[in-house]
Amino acid sequence: MISREGGIACYQQLSGILHKQIEEGEFRPGKQLPTETELSRRYKLNRHTIRQAIGRLQSEGLVYTIKGKGTFVANSKISYKVSRKTRFTTSVLDVGLSPDARLLDSYEISAGSELSRKLNIKSSDKVVVLEILRFVNKIPFCHTTSFLSSDRFPDIQAHIKGSFSLYELLKKHYGIEAMRASSSFEVSLPESSDMDMLQISSKVPVLIVKSTSKNSKGDIVEYCITRFRGDLCSITVNFNGEGR
């Protein structure tokens, strides 16, 4: 039970109790933890303390929260490989999980100075922007904003239907096999849009990967920014080999 004596904060005691229950298998991977109301009643703690305890477990990667559904025990982190031939669908299938992708939005903008450099086009050229939310086992896993030249990929939005793989689409309809040329990584606290799309709390970090892909001739195909849930992913990078 929770002791209010001894100098250990109540939220730390509760996170320790839940941590032990998870380790001992009382709550198995994928199983939902008791609700805030149930934990509050069971341990006679207020909601703020409950949220602090859950937040600590999230920061340790032991649990994840799905907005409107609750908090669940995490599996071991999802291993995602970044290589020259990285494909989201293939990478997720390779670890025995189910991938999915949903196009949230698509629109066209002028390249401007920054995107013209990223895509090696004129600043006045048009760029197609694809906002894609990707899932693993129906859990939001990452949000990608892809930038592609409108001239190089005319009517690309018309080819996107249901669940899809962008690189398979490029290969099928445009005869282009895109390969990852470079990626940069940084970690940030989530923005409000991250919390909404990825269904995470303000305490879950976001891994931001900015990548450029090229075709076999070395022409730039895509520039993209992907924001991964930091509590679910473990990324391995290999640009030397040909592995997927």
pLDDT (tens digit, 9 = 90+) per residue, 82-96?
A: 777 766 777 777 777
> What does the pLDDT read at residue 243?
46
| Cα four-point dihedral sign 174, 180, 182, 183 | positive
- Helical H runs in the chain? 10-23, 36-43, 47-59, 88-94, 112-119, 166-174, 192-198
Low-confidence stretches of the chain (pLDDT < 50) are 243-244
Per-residue model confidence (pLDDT) at position 76: 65
How much is the pLDDT for 81? 72
- Joined together, the tokens standing for residue 91 give 């990478």
Amino acid 86: pLDDT: 67
Structurally, what CATH architecture does the domain formed by 10-73 represent? Orthogonal Bundle (1.10)
Task: Considering the chain, tell me which residue range(s) the CATH 3.40.1410.10 domain(s) occupy.
Answer: 78-238
Residues 6+ apart with CB under 8 A from 117: none
| 8 Å CB contact between 206 and 194 | yes
If one counts every other C-beta atom within 10 angstroms of the C-beta of residue 113, the result is 8
CATH 1.10.10.10 boundaries in the chain? 10-73
Ramachandran quadrant class, 6 (left: phi over 0; alpha: psi -120 to 50; beta: rest): left
DSSP bridge pairs for 139: 136
Identify the architecture of domain 78-238 in CATH.
3-Layer(aba) Sandwich (3.40)
pTM score > 0.85 for this model?
Answer: no
> Rounded to an integer, what distance in angstroms lies between the CA atom of residue 121 and that of residue 136?
34
